[in-house]
């Protein structure tokens, strides 16, 4: 009988080693290709959390009249206030001539939904987040950074901010659900 250590097995062992070397080289090439492709794919696609925040849906039902919430959208705060009839009346009563950035109250809300005010909560002066809670001299928002006062429609009334708080793109999906973005 032949011994399992006979020389005729040597080529087989050699072949196996060569296969391993080839396999290893292929695996390395594969890894190299993957490493090159990943940053490319990565830079082509927004990250999952950015995609998730591209638009958000907010349920307004829990926000009682007179209350306000803040949600984050695309990395910025968005104020959503459920305005009281007095808030609305006060905004409508203001003459446009008194406004540094004249805009009707009706242009800042959706038709038939004037109780809901949705605004980007970033001061248009230098980007601070104004205080809510019906603050400031006009019962809206106050930015303590340099003293900008916004009214109950989020319009600048006094202070260095040049424009009204911005209104984001949003739509009502139902009576109590909005989609921002």
**Distance from C-alpha of 92 to C-alpha of 101, rounded to nearest angstrom:** 15
Q: How far is the CB of 113 from ligand FES (least distance, A)?
A: 28
What minimum distance in Å lies between the beta carbon of 149 and ligand FES? 9
Q: Which is nearer to ligand FES, 34 or 126 (CB)?
A: 126
Is residue 118 helix, strand or coil? strand
Which residue bears the tokens 């959706």?
110
Strands 156-158 and 68-73: unpaired
Q: How far is the CB of 126 from ligand FES (least distance, A)?
A: 4
Tokens matching residue 133: 């809670």
Closest distance between ligand FES and the C-beta of residue 163, in Å? 12
Three-state SS for 124-137 is CCCCCCCEEEEECC
Active site residue 146: yes
Q: What is each CA distance from 177 to 7, 24, 98, 113, in whole angstroms?
A: 81, 56, 34, 12
CB nearer ligand FES, residue 54 or residue 126:
126
- Which residues of this chain interact with ligand FES, rule CB under 6 A? 123, 125-128, 143, 145-148, 159-161
Q: Decide whether 30 or 144 has the Cβ nearer to ligand FES.
A: 144
Residue 56 or 131: which CB sits closer to ligand FES?
131
Phi, psi of 118 (to 5 degrees): -120, 120
Token match 């910025």: residue? 76
- Of 5, 12, 125, 146, the active-site residue reads 146
* Active site amino acids: 146
């Amino acid at each position: 009988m032949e011994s399992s250590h006979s020389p005729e097995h040597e080529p087989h062992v050699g072949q196996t080693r060569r296969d391993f070397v080839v396999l290893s080289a292929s695996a390395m090439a594969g890894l190299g290709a993957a490493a090159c492709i990943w940053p490319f794919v990565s830079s082509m696609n927004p990250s999952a959390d950015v995609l998730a925040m591209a638009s958000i849906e907010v349920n307004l039902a829990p926000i009682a009249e007179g209350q306000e919430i803040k949600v984050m959208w695309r990395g910025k705060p968005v104020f959503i206030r459920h305005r009281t009839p007095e808030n609305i009346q006060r905004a409508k009563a203001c003459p446009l001539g008194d406004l540094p950035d004249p805009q009707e109250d009706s242009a800042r809300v959706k038709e038939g939904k004037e109780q809901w005010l949705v605004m980007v909560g970033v001061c248009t002066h230098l980007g601070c987040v104004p205080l809510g809670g019906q603050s400031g001299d006009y019962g809206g928002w106050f930015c303590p950074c340099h003293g900008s006062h916004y009214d109950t429609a989020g319009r600048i009334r006094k202070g260095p901010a040049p424009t009204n708080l911005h209104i984001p793109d949003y739509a009502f999906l139902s009576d109590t659900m909005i989609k921002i973005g």
